[in-house]
Amino acid sequence: MTNVTNIRDHIANSGLKVTPQRIAVYKALLDIKDHPTAEMVKQHISRDNPSVSLGTVYKTLEKFEEKNLIAKVRTEDDVMRYDPILDKHHHLFCQKTEQIGDYYDEELNQLLNEYFQTKNIPNFKIEDIKLHIIGEFIDK
C-alpha cells in the first residue's frame, strides 16, 4: 500500500482529486509512522516537493480525515497528530520522547467488550473505547 499507484486509487476512491500534494502527504504519513504533526509532514515532503505550503498540508489532512482516510490523534501537548491507520488500535504514549506507538490487541478489545457487557455505565452508551497507555519505550 506504500506504492504510489495504490495511493492514487485510495485517494480517488474517496472522491477526492488526485494531486501530487495529496500523494505526497499520504505517503509521508505512511513513511514517518510516528503519527506526525502537520509540520513534520511538511518537513518530510519538502525534500521532494519544496513548494508545498503548510496551509495545503493542513487542508489535505483535513480532507483526508473527512473522507476517513486517516484519523486525528490528540496528545498531551498542544499539537494535532495524524494517523493513517484506521483499524481499531490503541496508543502508546512515551513520556520522554513524545513518540506515539500503535498497539493492537484483539484479545484486549474482546476482554473489554465482555467486561462492559455485564458491567454497564449508568446513563452512558458506549460507542468506542480507546486506551491511552502511558509510559516509555525501552531500548531492549
Partner DNA sequence: TTTGGTGCAAACTCTTTGCAGGGTC
Partner DNA sequence: GACCCTGCAAAGAGTTTGCACCAAA
**Residue numbers at the binding site for DNA (CB under 7 A):** 12, 16-22, 37-39, 49, 51-56, 58-60, 62-63, 78-80
Closest C-alpha to 19, from 47, 1, 45, 44: 45
Which residues have a Cβ under 8 Å from the Cβ of 89 and sit 6 or more positions away?
102, 103, 104
Pick what 47 binds: DNA, a second copy, none; C-beta below 5 to 8 Å, kind-dependent: none
Position 129 contacts a second copy (CB under 8 A)? yes
Cα 140 to Cα 8, 83, 88, 99, 102: the distances in Å are 38, 26, 27, 16, 18
- What is the closest distance, in whole angstroms, from the C-beta atom of residue 82 to a second copy in the complex? 14
Is 95 near a second copy (CB under 8 A)? yes
Which of residues 3 and 123 has its CB atom nearest to DNA in the complex? Answer: 3
134 binding a second copy? (CB under 8 A): yes
